[in-house]
C-alpha cells in the first residue's frame, strides 16, 4: 500500500487558504451530522485543492464565480463522508473479523510507511515537516478503510455491467470511438525579419529546398537555418505537439505522404518548409479494442448512481443541522 501523504506543495496551498481566516472562524461549527461536527477548518481543507484547480483553470474572476459551487460541493462531500463512516462503524466494527482485518491493514500501512522512509524516527520527522499528525492520519485512513468495506457490500456488489450492455453501448455510440488522424513533421522557418529583403529570404528558402531534394538531412538544416520552435530538435513536431501548431499551415500539408517534403509555404512572417515524418490515419476502434474502455465507463456511471441511491437511503435516518 502506498504511503498516503500530502505532498509538500499541496500542503502549502492548503495552508495558504486555511490561514486567511482567524482561529475563531476556523473553529466555527458549520454542520452537525448526527451529533458530529464539521468545522470551518474542515470545509476549507476539503475545498483547498479544488480552489487551486479552479484558480489555474478559470483565473481569479472565474474562481470567484465558482466559489459558492465549490464550497457547497465540498460540504456535501464532508456530510456524505460522516454518514458513511457512522454507518460503517455500526455495521463493520460490529463484525469482529472485519474489525480485525481493518486493524491489520492499518498496521501494514504504518509498517510500509516506516520501511519506505527508513525508520520510525524519519517517518515522524517527515510527517512533522509536512504538517501531518500521524495519529490523525491513521484515523483518517481507518475511516477510508471503513468506507471501502461498506461500499463493497452496499454499492460495488450491486453494480452489474453485462457483455450485452457493453456491446449495445458500442453499437449505439460508435462515433465516440473514432480517433482522428494525426501526423508528425519537421519544420524549417526562415523569418523575413532576418533578411534584408523578402527576395533574399525566398532565395535562401529555395536554396535549402534544393539541398533537401539533393539528400541533405532535414534535421541538420533545421538546426542550422530555422528560427521556428523546436529548431534545436531538428524542427521535429511530435504527433501530440502538432495541436499547438498553426492550423492553417498544418492544413496545407495534411495531404502529404510520409517522407515527402513540402514546397515553400508562405506566411505573414516567413517561408516554411515541412517534411512529413509519420502519418497516422483516422480509425474507428473495433469492439475488441473499445470494450475495456466501455466496461470501465459503464462501471463508473453505475457506481455514481448506486452510491447516490445508497446515500439517499442512509440520509433518511440522519439528522443534519447547518449553521451557514
**CATH number, residue 229:** 3.10.50.40
Report the C-alpha gap between 20 and 124 in whole angstroms: 27
Over 90: is that where the pLDDT of 191 sits? yes
Boundary residue ending a domain (88, 119, 154): 154
In this structure, the answer to whether residues 101 and 169 fall within a common structural domain is no
State CA 67 to chain mean position distance.
21
Residue range 274-279: mean pLDDT, rounded: 96
Residue range 79-106: mean pLDDT, rounded: 93
In this structure, the answer to whether residues 20 and 143 fall within a common structural domain is yes
CATH number, residue 132: 1.10.4030.10
> 303 near 156, Cβ under 8 Å?
yes
Q: Is residue 3 part of a domain?
A: no
Q: Is residue 1 part of a domain?
A: no
Residue 172 sits at the vertex; the CA angle it makes with 171 and 176, to the nearest 5 degrees, is: 90
DSSP per-residue codes, 189-228: EEEGGGSSSHHHHHHHHHHHHHHHHTT--HHHHHHHH--S
**Using one digit for the tens of pLDDT, what is the confidence trace for 194-241?**
999 999 999 999 999 999 999 999 999 999 999 988 999 999 999 989
Q: Is residue 195 part of a domain?
A: yes
In this structure, the answer to whether residues 311 and 297 fall within a common structural domain is yes
In this structure, the answer to whether residues 91 and 201 fall within a common structural domain is no
Expressed as residue numbers, the domain containing 264 is 181-281
Q: Is residue 223 part of a domain?
A: yes
HSE value, Cβ hemisphere, 13 Å, CA-based, for 247: 1
Boundary residue ending a domain (154, 170, 190): 154
Task: Indicate the number of domains in the chain.
Answer: 3
Boundary residue ending a domain (109, 139, 154): 154
In this structure, the answer to whether residues 37 and 171 fall within a common structural domain is no
Residue range 309-317: mean pLDDT, rounded: 94
CB 232: neighbour CB atoms within 10 A?
10
In this structure, the answer to whether residues 224 and 242 fall within a common structural domain is yes
In this structure, the answer to whether residues 29 and 167 fall within a common structural domain is no
What are the start-end ranges of the H helices in 35-133? Answer: 40-91, 96-117, 120-129
The band of 23, judged by pLDDT with boundaries at 50, 70 and 90, is low
Residue range 7-11: mean pLDDT, rounded: 42
> 17 near 62, Cβ under 8 Å?
no
Please provide the distance, in angstroms rounded to a whole number, between the alpha carbons at the two ends of the chain.
38
Report the C-alpha gap between 236 and 241 in whole angstroms: 9
In this structure, the answer to whether residues 229 and 303 fall within a common structural domain is no
The band of 24, judged by pLDDT with boundaries at 50, 70 and 90, is low
Report the C-alpha gap between 35 and 46 in whole angstroms: 20
Which residue in 84, 79, 143 sits closest to 320, CA to CA? 79
pTM of the complete model: 0.64
Over 60: is that where the pLDDT of 21 sits? no
Q: Any idea which residue has 516554411 for its cell?
A: 272
Amino acid at each position: 500500500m502506498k504511503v498516503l501523504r500530502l505532498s509538500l506543495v499541496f500542503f502549502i496551498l492548503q495552508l495558504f487558504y486555511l490561514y486567511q481566516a482567524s482561529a475563531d472562524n476556523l473553529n466555527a461549527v458549520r454542520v452537525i451530522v448526527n451529533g458530529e461536527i464539521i468545522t470551518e477548518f474542515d470545509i476549507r481543507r476539503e475545498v483547498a485543492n479544488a480552489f487551486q484547480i479552479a484558480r489555474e483553470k478559470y483565473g481569479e474572476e472565474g474562481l470567484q464565480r465558482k466559489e459558492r459551487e465549490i464550497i457547497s460541493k465540498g460540504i456535501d462531500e464532508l456530510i456524505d463522508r460522516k454518514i458513511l463512516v457512522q454507518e460503517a462503524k455500526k455495521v463493520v466494527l460490529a463484525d469482529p473479523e472485519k474489525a480485525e482485518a481493518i486493524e491489520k491493514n492499518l498496521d501494514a500501512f504504518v509498517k510500509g510507511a516506516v520501511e519506505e522512509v527508513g525508520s520510525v524516527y524519519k517517518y515522524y520527522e517527515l510527517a512533522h515537516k509536512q504538517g501531518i499528525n500521524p495519529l490523525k492520519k491513521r484515523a483518517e485512513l481507518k475511516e477510508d478503510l471503513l468506507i471501502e468495506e461498506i461500499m463493497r457490500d452496499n454499492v460495488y456488489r450491486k453494480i452489474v455491467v453485462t457483455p450485452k450492455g457493453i456491446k449495445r453501448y458500442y453499437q449505439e455510440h460508435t462515433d465516440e470511438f473514432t480517433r482522428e488522424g494525426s501526423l508528425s513533421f519537421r519544420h524549417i522557418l526562415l523569418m523575413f525579419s532576418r533578411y534584408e529583403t523578402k527576395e533574399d529570404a525566398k532565395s535562401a528558402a529555395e536554396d535549402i529546398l534544393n539541398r533537401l531534394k539533393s539528400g541533405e538531412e532535414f534535421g541538420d538544416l533545421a538546426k542550422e537555418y530555422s528560427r521556428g520552435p523546436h529548431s534545436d530538435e531538428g524542427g521535429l513536431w511530435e504527433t501530440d505537439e502538432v495541436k499547438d501548431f498553426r492550423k492553417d499551415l498544418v492544413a496545407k500539408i495534411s495531404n502529404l505522404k510520409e517522407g515527402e517534403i513540402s514546397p515553400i509555404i508562405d506566411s505573414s512572417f516567413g517561408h516554411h518548409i515541412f517534411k512529413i515524418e509519420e502519418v497516422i490515419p483516422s480509425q474507428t476502434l473495433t469492439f475488441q479494442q473499445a470494450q475495456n474502455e466501455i466496461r470501465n465507463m459503464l462501471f463508473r456511471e453505475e457506481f455514481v448512481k448506486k452510491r447516490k441511491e445508497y446515500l439517499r437511503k442512509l440520509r433518511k435516518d440522519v439528522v443534519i443541522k447547518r449553521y451557514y
